[in-house]
């Protein structure tokens, strides 16, 4: 599990950044699996932002993630200049930056 205050990165996937934990928990369905974009990230983020009326964004692979809070598998992060919630899955291979 990720620890608050540490830096991590996910080198393989674009991660969805949800505006709050409840939106992350809804996990927005078919275009997104476990918070990982399976189609064009910009398209998915724009679509869900419009549908739910909240800003959904994404971060590129290798973007440093500063962990701000952990609530089960929902992790609040600062990714570059964006703050949001990701969904942690073991297979994402999110690694600590040292």
Domain enclosing residue 50, as ranges: 7-96
What is the token pair recorded at 78? 């600062």
Q: Would the pLDDT of 5 be above 60? A: yes
What is the token pair recorded at 6? 């540490």
- Describe the strand order of the beta sheet including 57-59 as a list of residue ranges: 32-33, 36-37, 15-17, 57-59
Q: How confident is the model at residue 30 (pLDDT cuts 50, 70, 90)?
A: very low
* pLDDT, average across residues 65-88: 95
Residue 83 in domain: yes
Residue 1 in domain: no
Q: Would the pLDDT of 77 be above 90? A: yes
- Total count of domains within the chain: 1
Residue 20 in domain: yes
Q: How confident is the model at residue 40 (pLDDT cuts 50, 70, 90)?
A: confident
Q: What is the pLDDT of residue 36?
A: 57
Cα dihedral 80, 85, 90, 93 in deg (nearest 10): -10
Residue 13 in domain: yes
Length in residues, the chain: 98
């Amino acid at each position: 599990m990720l620890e608050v205050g540490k830096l991590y990165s996910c080198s393989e996937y674009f991660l969805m950044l949800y505006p709050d934990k409840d939106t992350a928990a809804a996990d927005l369905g078919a275009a997104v699996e476990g918070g990982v974009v399976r189609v064009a990230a910009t398209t998915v983020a724009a679509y869900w932002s419009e549908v739910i009326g909240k800003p959904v964004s994404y971060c590129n692979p290798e973007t440093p993630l500063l962990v701000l809070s952990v609530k089960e598998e929902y992790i609040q992060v600062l990714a570059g200049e964006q703050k949001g919630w990701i969904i942690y899955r073991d297979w994402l291979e999110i690694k600590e930056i040292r």
